[in-house]
């Protein structure tokens, strides 16, 4: 009986010892778990702060980008508006220029009879050998086939022409033997003339631009304020 009691007491003591040991171990485990959880929570808080800061930075960058996009859209809109204005101004300018050109061409066509008369006087003076009179009908910057001449040089050259005059209307298939050309310099009336010309036999080398018979010339006229008359600025052969 004593042995049984001793065994039972020993068993109870062992059980209590085991229970106390388990409780101590469980307490340590719980403590370690709490510490581990605390470390994990601290890490998670740190990660959350990093993520929050990153999100804030991204939101700030996004706001900057939105501002830049808005600014660029405004700049593009302003540039488009300026481009539209420039195109409209260009269109208005071209339209005004076209109107001026049309008005100028109309004015030049009105001057047709005046400049035609000057051309006829010039031809007549040359045909009648009145070379000084023909020279008086020329502008001071006059050129003949692209060359300038002093009065003596001019007379020596022009005297090789036996006769020159506007062709008869019946001699030409053109609409007119004297046609004012559109465009050109504003102060110059340009005209295409069909003329009958005859030169001396030995003059072909010094007058290669003229053939006996019909010739098409382009003549430019300018108004001389001092003479109060139109004068001839240039004469050239028209191909």
Residues 6+ apart with CB under 8 A from 91: none
What is the pLDDT averaged over residues 40-52?
78
Least confident among 74-78, 123-127, 143-147:
74-78
Measure the CA–CA gap between 85 and 76, rounded to whole angstroms.
Answer: 14
DSSP letter for 211, please.
-
Question: Is residue 103 over pLDDT 60?
Answer: no
Categorize the per-residue pLDDT at 81 as very low, low, confident or very high, splitting at 50, 70 and 90.
Answer: confident
Tell me what percent of the residues of the chain surpass a pLDDT of 90: 41
Mean pLDDT estimate for the chain: 83
The pLDDT value given to residue 91 = 73
Give the start-end residues of each E strand in 103-169.
138-144, 161-166
The pTM of this model reads 0.60
Which pLDDT belongs to residue 124?
96
SS3 sequence of 8-75:
HHHHHHHHHHHHHHHHHHHHHHHHHHHHHHHHHHHHHHHHHHHHHHHHHHHHHHHHHHHHHHHHHHHH
Condensed to tens digits (0 to 9), the pLDDT of residues 159-211 reads 999 999 999 876 545 458 999 998 888 889 999 999 999 999 888 888 888 99
Q: What is residue 20's predicted lDDT score, i.e. its pLDDT? A: 66
Q: Do residues 118 and 137 lie in contact, with contact meaning Cβ atoms separated by under 8 Å?
A: yes
In contact, 217 and 237? CB cutoff 8 Å: yes
């Amino acid at each position: 009986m004593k042995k049984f009691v001793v065994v039972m007491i020993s068993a109870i003591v062992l059980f209590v010892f085991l229970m106390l040991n388990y409780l101590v171990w469980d307490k340590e485990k719980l403590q370690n778990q709490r510490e581990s959880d605390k470390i994990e929570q601290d890490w998670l808080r740190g990660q959350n702060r990093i993520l929050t800061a990153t999100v804030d930075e991204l939101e700030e960058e996004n706001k900057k980008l939105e501002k830049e996009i808005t600014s660029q859209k405004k700049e593009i809109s302003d540039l488009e508006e300026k481009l539209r204005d420039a195109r409209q101004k260009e269109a208005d300018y071209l339209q005004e220029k076209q109107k001026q050109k049309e008005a100028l061409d109309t004015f030049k066509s009105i001057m047709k009879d005046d400049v035609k008369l000057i051309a006829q006087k010039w031809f007549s003076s040359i045909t009648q050998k009145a070379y000084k009179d023909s020279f008086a009908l020329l502008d001071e910057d006059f050129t003949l086939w692209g060359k300038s001449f002093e009065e003596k040089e001019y007379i020596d050259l022009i005297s090789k022409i036996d006769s020159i005059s506007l062709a008869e209307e019946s001699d030409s298939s053109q609409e007119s033997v004297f046609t004012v050309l559109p465009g050109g310099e504003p102060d110059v009336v340009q005209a295409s003339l069909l003329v009958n010309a005859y030169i001396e036999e030995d003059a072909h080398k010094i007058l290669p631009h003229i053939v006996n018979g019909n010739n098409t010339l382009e003549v430019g006229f300018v108004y001389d304020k001092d003479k109060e008359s139109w004068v001839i600025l240039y004469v050239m052969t028209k191909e």
